[in-house]
């Protein structure tokens, strides 16, 4: 399965819940960027490893993450 994860990065508050639940350990805060709120936003480090489980999207309290499966 191919999945695409997109982040509404400016809404992210850097709580790392998404990183904690990802079974593939491919979600992490991007320390090289700051969003509009002043947080390092979450991002996917290895999109090819994503299994499209959508756990990250479900746990996010701010609905930052969208998972599309193809």
Q: Which residues bind ligand SF4 (CB under 6 A)?
A: 3, 5, 12-18, 21-24, 26-27, 42, 44, 50-56, 59-60, 62, 64-65, 67
Residue with tokens 């998972």: 67
Q: Which is nearer to ligand SF4, 2 or 24 (CB)?
A: 24
Question: Residue 4: what are its φ and ψ, rounded to 5°?
Answer: -125, 125
For the bound state, the minimum distance from the C-beta of residue 32 to ligand SF4, rounded and expressed in Å, comes to: 15
User: Using alpha carbons only, how large is the chain's radius of gyration in Å?
Assistant: 11
Pairing type for strands 3-7 and 65-69 reads: antiparallel
CB of 25 to ligand SF4, least distance (A): 8
């Amino acid at each position: 399965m191919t999945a695409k994860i997109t982040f509404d990065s400016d809404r992210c508050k850097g709580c790392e819940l998404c990183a904690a639940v990802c079974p593939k350990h491919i979600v992490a805060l991007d320390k090289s960027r700051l969003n509009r709120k002043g947080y390092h936003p979450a991002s996917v480090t290895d999109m090819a490893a994503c299994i499209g489980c959508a756990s990250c999207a479900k746990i996010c309290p701010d609905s930052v993450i969208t998972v599309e499966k193809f």
